[in-house]
Chain A
Amino acid sequence: MGEILVAKGLSKQFGGLQAVADLDLDVRRGEILGVIGPNGAGKSTTFNMIAGALAPSSGTLVFDGKDLTGLPAHAMAARGIIRTFQHNKPFASMTVRENVMVGMHLRLKGSLWRVLLAGTGAVRAEREAVQRADELVAFVGLGDCRDADVDTLSFGQGRLLEIARALASEPRLILFDEPAAGLTLAECERLTDIIRQIAQRGIAVLLIEHDMRFLMALADRVVVLNFGRKIAQGTPAEIRADDTVVQAYLGDLGAMAHA
């Protein structure tokens, strides 16, 4: 199982604050890699650098053998790295299906002349896109509300829509930013199930999560960050037994008790 994403010496500085320092990280094909750490450990910064929302101060990001360091978000997406948002970001004026069809942008886009001139071809491509969108909507379990406006969805349904939309672009690496946050227990179980199925389709998954229990049940490997540095890496079982990790989390709790 080879690596699809290799980050080397990734660092990000905000003024005097070293948010992430010299981080090495790799995601293998078809695996679920979890990244955990206490608040302020640099999880989101790491996430945003891989997603292209933040340019790293130093270090390199190599995806499938190509250097993508510092590319903007849409270019990362075009290379096959697709993110979801912790706070759902649906396209508010569209239906569920249309939202998913926006996710197909990279597959559908072509020359504007062809849009204007190619009659039946464009119509057929659109019809196929609708069909594919409906499949994805059904896959995440939103089949009954595919024609609904997104503002009628619950928070949990909105999260599922985020996933369907991300899958629509046929990513090779999908980034989840605290996907379990704000979900009910039943929704969490459904989410776990869906993320497993995504990995089974051969899509690599990188999961940033605050919730240890959710992550440990799901991840093949776990990377632990604290104060912007990697302090441990291994299988969930190894991480559970790791002293530094326990300390980091206990230390965090201790600090909170004093605050």
Chain B
Amino acid sequence: MKSIAGFLVAALVLSAIAFMLGSYHTDVYRKLLLWITLALGYNFLFGIAGQVAFSHFTFYGIGAYAMVILLFQVGLPLPLAILAGIVVCVVLALVVAIPATRLEGFYLALATLAFAQLFIVVLNEGGSVTGGPGGLANYRLPDILGVRVTGPWYTVVIVFLLLGTLAILWRLDRSWFGRACRAVRDDPQAAQAMGINVTTTRIVAYAVTSALAGVAGMVYAFVDNTVNPPIFGLENSFLLLFMVIVGGSGRHAGAIVGAILLYLLPFFLSPLIGHHHALVFGVVMVAVVLFQPKGLIGIWDHLTARRRMAP
């Protein structure tokens, strides 16, 4: 019950912020919320289930493109388009996961990298369906029950996307399924000896987190009201990985901290050093891996543990 109250407070506060921002800051805020959503899902896949996959951001793109194509080229009504979009994500996730999760570590990383590249190729070569290199634009969210959801109200939709994603992952993590994922990550052979079907666990974890990324992509489609190939490139897949590692992999709070820090960092750095913030990212990344493998959240744990021990 305490956690439900926490979610309600978070929903109110995050939604209230949406109504206080100008149009530039609204855009920053919406994307920050989306990055946190993505980082939470990727943290489950990479940090908790231990799968080094680079396809998470790709599924974000698949969700976004699927939404636009299903609504405006196929002509489905919004509720059906959402359902069909989720189905597309789950089916594609299974197509990737069933062969790929048999692979481990390095090979899973390679297979998902290839999938991410293939997606960009398909977008560029997709002709009128995907709009080619220019992508798709000039559309807007259809009215929902006659109401046009825009401005801060659409930001509220993103707040609910974030909190819904967190609630699902939270629940999964604190169940037998989350334990099975961690067990498979720690020692697949021992996990199997405890009756855990390693392959199924990996496939389900991959499909669920990929579908969540897809749903986030569907919501994103109406943030910029344009989707194009460069947005969904590999650079952002790596940024997602950095966010989770810098924040503290395996922890929801870590993913949130990492996403906030790495998303906002360029805004503070670019007035100082222009576009060289990638260099700072690299240094931060190396420093964390070397000196604080548990991420920034590990420093927090350390400090609070010390305070608890002091009288």
Give the B-binding residues of A (Cβ under 8 A): 51, 53, 72-74, 77-78, 82-83, 85, 89-94, 98, 101-106, 108-110, 112, 115-116, 122, 126, 165, 169
A105/B190 in contact, CB under 8 A: no
A89/B190 in contact, CB under 8 A: yes
Contacts of B171 on A, CB cut-off 8 Å?
Answer: 115-116, 122
B174 at the interface (CB under 8 A from A): yes
| Supplied contacts A74-B196, A91-B183, A116-B171, 8 more A-B pairs, CB within 8 Å | A74-B197, A77-B192, A77-B194, A77-B195, A82-B195, A92-B187, A94-B179, A94-B183
How many inter-chain residue pairs (CB < 8 Å) link A and B? 91
Contacts of B245 on A, CB cut-off 8 Å?
Answer: none
Contacts of A78 on B, CB cut-off 8 Å?
Answer: 195
Separation in Å of the B222 CB from the closest CB of chain A?
Answer: 26
Query: In the assembly, what is the distance between CA of A83 and CA of B180, in Å?
Result: 17
B23 at the interface (CB under 8 A from A): no
Contacts of A91 on B, CB cut-off 8 Å?
Answer: 182-183, 186-187, 190-191
For A83, give its contact among B174, B193, B250 (CB under 8 Å). Answer: B193
Give the A-binding residues of B (Cβ under 8 A): 168, 171-172, 174-177, 179-180, 182-183, 185-187, 189-198, 204, 208, 250
Separation in Å of the A84 CB from the closest CB of chain B?
Answer: 8
**Secondary structure of the B side of the interface?**
helix
B195/A74 in contact, CB under 8 A: yes
Among B171, B172, B175, which residue has the most Cβ atoms of chain A within 10 A? B175
Contacts of B174 on A, CB cut-off 8 Å?
Answer: 126
Contacts of B196 on A, CB cut-off 8 Å?
Answer: 74, 102, 105
A73/B193 in contact, CB under 8 A: yes
Given A89-B190, A115-B172, A106 and B182 contact (CB-CB distance below 8 Å): no
For B192, give its contact among A72, A98, A104, A126 (CB under 8 Å). Answer: A72
Query: In the assembly, what is the distance between CA of A112 and CA of B183, in Å?
Result: 17
Separation in Å of the B194 CB from the closest CB of chain A?
Answer: 5
A51/B191 in contact, CB under 8 A: no
Of chain B, the residue at the smallest CB distance from A106 is B195
Among A51, A108, A112, A165, which residue has the most Cβ atoms of chain B within 10 A? A112
Query: In the assembly, what is the distance between CA of A44 and CA of B193, in Å?
Result: 15
Given A94-B186, A112-B177, A102 and B172 contact (CB-CB distance below 8 Å): no
A126/B182 in contact, CB under 8 A: no
Separation in Å of the A16 CB from the closest CB of chain B?
Answer: 27
A102/B180 in contact, CB under 8 A: yes
Contacts of A51 on B, CB cut-off 8 Å?
Answer: 193
Contacts of A103 on B, CB cut-off 8 Å?
Answer: 194
Contacts of B204 on A, CB cut-off 8 Å?
Answer: 112
For A73, give its contact among B177, B187, B192 (CB under 8 Å). Answer: B192
A93/B182 in contact, CB under 8 A: yes
Sort A-B residue pairs by CB-CB distance and give the 3 closest, nearest first: A77-B195, A89-B190, A108-B176
Query: In the assembly, what is the distance between CA of A194 and CA of B187, in Å?
Result: 25
Contacts of B193 on A, CB cut-off 8 Å?
Answer: 51, 73-74, 77, 82-83, 85, 89
Of chain B, the residue at the smallest CB distance from A119 is B4
Of chain B, the residue at the smallest CB distance from A168 is B194
B186/A93 in contact, CB under 8 A: yes
Query: In the assembly, what is the distance between CA of A77 and CA of B189, in Å?
Result: 12
Query: In the assembly, what is the distance between CA of A204 and CA of B306, in Å?
Result: 47
Separation in Å of the A157 CB from the closest CB of chain B?
Answer: 16
Contacts of A82 on B, CB cut-off 8 Å?
Answer: 193-195
Query: In the assembly, what is the distance between CA of A74 and CA of B188, in Å?
Result: 11
Query: In the assembly, what is the distance between CA of A122 and CA of B172, in Å?
Result: 11
